[in-house]
Structure 1
Amino acid sequence: MSLSSKKTITDLPGSEISGKKILIRVDFNVPQDKSTGAITNNARIVAALPTIKYVIENGAKSVILCSHLGRPNGAPNSKYTLRPVAEELQKVLGKNVTFIDECVGSKVEEKVAAGKEGEVFLLENLRFHIEEEGSSKDEATGEKKKASPEAIEAFRSSLTKLADLYINDAFGTAHRAHSSVVGFKGEPRLAGFLMKKELEFFSKVLENPEQPFLAILGGAKISDKIQLIENLLDKVNKLIVCGGMAFTFKKIINSVEIGNSLFDEEGSKKVHDLVAKAKKNNVELIFPVDYICGDKFDKDASRKTVTDSEGVPKGWMGLDAGPASREEFKKAILSSKTILWNGPAGVFEFDAFAEGSKAMLDACIEACQKGATVIVGGGDTATVCKKYGAEDKLSHVSTGGGASLELLEGKNLPGVANLSEKK
């Protein structure tokens, strides 16, 4: 599946949007205050505005927005209603938004059909129906319930009836074969501006990276990232392994004493194979050579710096990359043209052990300023960028943790595969 061959919102002339009813799958899964339900961060709503405004400005007859919110497990639950999102969207869009308290069925179809010219609708939470995800789990009993193929088909058919064309702007759910992601039957099915940006940057990295290409992989377990490492070893020139999973590599390859640091028993069995593949593909592997240790996993832990030869003392754990490691990482980053970063260098949530991740971020910003393409693959690494207000200082910070990970593992994403092909 080629990412660059998918049809996007700008591939369609404005004349083909004019007068059309348009269904947009957005990601309005926003954080809310537990007691009041008030939206605590509207970034995802604001991020969808360029796509919404573009179709309005090009004369869409109506704009129908659909999203999930939380995990209501396939049944209506007032805690997860999208009504407050409609109010927030109305504020930031500066235009009336009609909330419909259902997402499929004749009532929705009638309301949309009777809509005024240029009206914006927000449908109720897609996950109030088991047919969106295909199954649900009873929280009390843990029992799984499956939707019938006929019910799923009817749900998808109702969504399709609402609109003349479909736009997916929810990259964060693109790895899920959910009804709103893959079930719209009409043509064309386009990527919105958010999805388009994700596809452009990931196609650059996966299909045509400028060399030298460096990947930085952090995180706790090798076993969680084996497929990712395997796939990237076929593409990169250099690979930095940092964070918790570096200790498993160091113990197996160099017999470094790691004290109470993370050790991934299952992942350790794969270390020699991964190192052999790197050697075969002429990929330079870069590991930390010193560590900031803590005597406990705590923000107030006592700290000390140790080298490889000293090892991590018993009862202590490595929680961040040391100063010599940070220099090595910086050297590798500044000598690369394409940099993909997935996983922090240490326990950045504790300020005492955040220096490694901050230094890595600073080096990536410097590389970006010097013309390198720097892509952050969502999840914890995106949180590092947010913590230091650096989201706009890098080429691209992905909005999809799981989706970007699966893409980098070499998997096809259902939500991307479902988009129409450029002719």
Structure 2
Amino acid sequence: MSQPGIPPMPAGATRKRNVYDVLETLGEPNKTLLIRVDFNVPMDSNGNITDDSRIRGALPTIQCVIEAGCNAVLCSHMGRPKLVQAGADDEATRHERHSLSLKPIAEYLGNLLNKEVVFAPDCLDAKDIVSQLSGGQICVLENLRFYKKEEKNDPEMAQVLASYADAYINDAFGTAHRAHASTHGVPACMTDKSKVGIGILVASELAFLDFRHTSDDKITAIIGGSKVSTKLPVIQGLLSNVDNLILGGGLAFTFLKAKGINIGTSLVEEGMIDTAKTLLEQAEAAGKKVFLPIDAVCAQGFPKAPMNPKGTKTFEMKVGAGIEEGWMGLDCGAATIDSFKSALAESSKICFNGPMGVFEIAPFDQGTRMLVDELEKVTRNGTITVVGGGDSVAALAAFDKTSSVTYVSTGGGATLELLAGDKLPGVEIIPDYEG
């Protein structure tokens, strides 16, 4: 059976059963599939969706199911509805229920697909609505997190959700690192595991974010962001699988200080300096090449708004020099980007997780912008470029470069945990393909 949209797993990696395998097992139309999607999208004060990428990311799996003549029951969370969970009946609770309802998402999805989408106003009382679906219809259940049971992985809630359908698909990579009723409980309670699988989006994430099973090709990881402590598991998880490790952003200053370079008033985690030193030693012992900023664009304090470049100063980052006191490193300079151009050009696969500077505030966006331009170049030349993490994805969008790389991950915490080599409960519960 052809499986459009699903990339091959790296050599040596085991693939999970997916939506195509499940449809083949079902063998006939008019079956109903419960699909866990991630429709937790940002909305403005008027209820307008400001970024629909997560909805669009689920479309291939939804279309795959309905084109097979089967019905799609979609379930998701939206935000953190603590007032609704508390059970109070007051104006604030009603506002939260309204603002975090998935009803507008159902309407938006219907417009995207030019197809009627049924909405079930209670995710645990939708049996009658679901039973009336036929011939490839779509139903969106109300916000799963209106019930505390969802995040507690309550078996009773899982049983109710499972009872709606003949099969289950998890296509919500953004919540795959959580063992919730809809991500873990439902597949766990289904007796016929051949009717359990992942969607096209999750299959793509697993293939592109797998840096453990690689060939002898050159692999480069670019890790930025503000804190070493946040990215430490990712750095440790990737270190044994990459040839080049590029460290930037605020976390780089902890590594620079570990090397004895002055960093002025730049962000530093004093308690992580010894860890940073150990990581650099481990990388050197393993024959890995580590790149750190060789110049830093600085300001006298953290800016709250865009500032004139004339108010900045660039310092050379080397032992005996570095950033003067009173100056704070907020971006890497052009020399830094130039220093790892050749490593990027020689790479067959690149992972970018974390910006090079405070990209939200000009002129400290230039380091990340120049890096993204380089990623665009090597992508055109055949390098697989994978971008993950909220800030990195936001930077791509800000520079209008989202389509300039090979793959953009939809996960936040799930992306970090997968890159770190951790198991994702929502994925591990899905059976391996044994065909």
Find the partner of 2:33 among 18, 22, 33: 22
Find the partner of 1:246 among 238, 246, 252: 252
Structure 2 residue matching 1:207: 3-state secondary structure: coil
Report the CA distance between 1:13 and its aligned residue: 5.0
Matched, 1:8 2:18: yes
CA distance in 2, matches of 1:369, 1:317: 35
Find the partner of 1:217 among 192, 206, 223: 223
User: Paired residue for 2:149?
Assistant: 131
Structure 1 residue matching 2:262: 3-state secondary structure: coil
Which residues of 2 match residues 6-405 of structure 1 at below 5 A? 6-14=16-24, 16=27, 18-34=29-45, 36-60=46-70, 62-73=71-82, 75=85, 77-104=97-124, 107-134=125-152, 152-184=154-186, 185-186=189-190, 187=193, 188-203=195-210, 205-209=211-215, 211-253=217-259, 255-298=260-303, 299-300=306-307, 302-309=311-318, 310-405=321-416
CA distance in 1, matches of 2:133, 2:408: 37
CA distance in 1, matches of 2:160, 2:61: 23
Instruction: Spell out, residue by residue over 1:11-37, the C-alpha distance to the aligned partner (whole angstroms, 9 max, x if none).
Output: 345562622111011111111122x22
User: Paired residue for 2:92?
Assistant: none
Structure 1 residue matching 2:263: 3-state secondary structure: coil
- Asked whether the equivalents of residues 4 and 199 of structure 1 are also in contact (C-alpha less than 8 Å), the reply is no
Instruction: Spell out, residue by residue over 1:148-184, the C-alpha distance to the aligned partner (whole angstroms, 9 max, x if none).
Output: x8xx111010011000111111101111111100111
CA distance in 2, matches of 1:5, 1:154: 30
CA distance in 1, matches of 2:106, 2:23: 29
Deviates more, 1:186-195 or 1:82-91: 186-195
CA distance in 1, matches of 2:15, 2:198: 11
Deviates more, 1:395-404 or 1:205-214: 205-214
Distance 1:13 1:69, change over 3 A: closer
The one-letter code of the counterpart of 2:208 is F
- Asked whether the equivalents of residues 26 and 170 of structure 1 are also in contact (C-alpha less than 8 Å), the reply is yes
CA distance in 2, matches of 1:3, 1:101: 41
Q: Structure 1: give runs of 5+ residues left out of the alignment.
A: 135-148
Structure 2 residue matching 1:331: 3-state secondary structure: helix
Structure 1 residue matching 2:282: 3-state secondary structure: helix
The one-letter code of the counterpart of 1:218 is G
- Asked whether the equivalents of residues 254 and 268 of structure 2 are also in contact (C-alpha less than 8 Å), the reply is yes
Report the CA distance between 1:210 and its aligned residue: 5.0
Distance 1:266 1:281, change over 3 A: same
Matched positions, count:
400
The one-letter code of the counterpart of 2:361 is F
Report the CA distance between 1:235 and its aligned residue: 0.9
The one-letter code of the counterpart of 1:307 is E
Structure 2 residue matching 1:133: 3-state secondary structure: coil
The one-letter code of the counterpart of 2:110 is Q
CA distance in 2, matches of 1:38, 1:377: 25
Q: Structure 2: give runs of 5+ residues left out of the alignment.
A: 1-11, 88-96
CA distance in 1, matches of 2:28, 2:177: 27
- Asked whether the equivalents of residues 29 and 135 of structure 2 are also in contact (C-alpha less than 8 Å), the reply is no
The one-letter code of the counterpart of 1:108 is A
Distance 1:304 1:420, change over 3 A: same
CA distance in 1, matches of 2:326, 2:28: 64
The one-letter code of the counterpart of 1:163 is A
- Asked whether the equivalents of residues 67 and 136 of structure 2 are also in contact (C-alpha less than 8 Å), the reply is no
Deviates more, 1:83-92 or 1:182-191: 182-191
CA distance in 2, matches of 1:4, 1:316: 50
CA distance in 2, matches of 1:63, 1:10: 14
Structure 2 residue matching 1:88: 3-state secondary structure: helix
The one-letter code of the counterpart of 1:27 is D
Structure 2 residue matching 1:23: 3-state secondary structure: strand
Report the TM-score when normalising by structure 2: 0.88
Report the TM-score when normalising by structure 1: 0.91
Report the CA distance between 1:47 and its aligned residue: 2.1
The one-letter code of the counterpart of 1:335 is E
CA distance in 2, matches of 1:351, 1:17: 56
CA distance in 1, matches of 2:277, 2:111: 56
Distance 1:37 1:3, change over 3 A: farther
CA distance in 2, matches of 1:236, 1:17: 45
Report the CA distance between 1:78 and its aligned residue: 2.3
CA distance in 1, matches of 2:372, 2:336: 14
CA distance in 1, matches of 2:42, 2:276: 38
Deviates more, 1:83-92 or 1:206-215: 206-215
Report the CA distance between 1:318 and its aligned residue: 0.7
Deviates more, 1:188-197 or 1:293-302: 293-302
Distance 1:13 1:72, change over 3 A: closer
Report the CA distance between 1:119 and its aligned residue: 2.2
CA distance in 1, matches of 2:425, 2:364: 38
CA distance in 2, matches of 1:18, 1:265: 61
